């Protein structure tokens, strides 16, 4: 995706130390933004109630936003296929 001119940013509520370990482990070629104060996730509406094993909790709903050069959201991908996500974005 980077070769096609996309700028890729990741964001989560985890801290910088956690992001550094994650990026190194998976050799990510793009930066991860630490949104520890939940400003990004709340502004984009992806901080929501989730559930796992019968327990509910607040968390980030994994979502991709395709934003054009003018800052306008062109597409929202909410059903992320982690193994084929680049193809989801490019199609």
Checking if the pLDDT of 3 tops 70, the result is no
CATH architecture of 2-90: 3-Layer(aba) Sandwich (3.40)
φ/ψ of 3, rounded to 5, equals: -65, -20
pLDDT tier at 83 (50, 70, 90 boundaries)? confident
Boundaries of every domain in the chain: 2-90
The label of the residue with tokens 């306008």 reads 72
φ/ψ of 6, rounded to 5, equals: -75, 145
Question: What Å distances lie between residue 59 and 48, 73, 74, 82, CA to CA?
Answer: 6, 22, 24, 18
pLDDT tier at 1 (50, 70, 90 boundaries)? low
4-59 pLDDT, tens digit each: 777 889 999 999 999 999 999 989 888 999 999 999 999 999 999 999 999 999 99
Angle at 88 between CA 74 and CA 20, to 5 degrees: 90
């Amino acid at each position: 995706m980077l070769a096609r001119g996309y700028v890729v940013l990741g964001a989560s509520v985890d801290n910088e130390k956690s992001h550094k370990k994650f990026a190194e482990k998976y050799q990510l070629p793009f930066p991860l933004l630490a949104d520890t104060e939940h400003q990004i996730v709340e502004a984009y509406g992806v901080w929501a109630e989730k559930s796992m094993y019968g327990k509910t909790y607040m968390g980030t709903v994994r979502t991709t936003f395709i934003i054009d050069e003018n800052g306008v959201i062109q597409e929202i991908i909410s059903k992320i296929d982690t193994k084929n996500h680049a193809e989801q974005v490019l199609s």
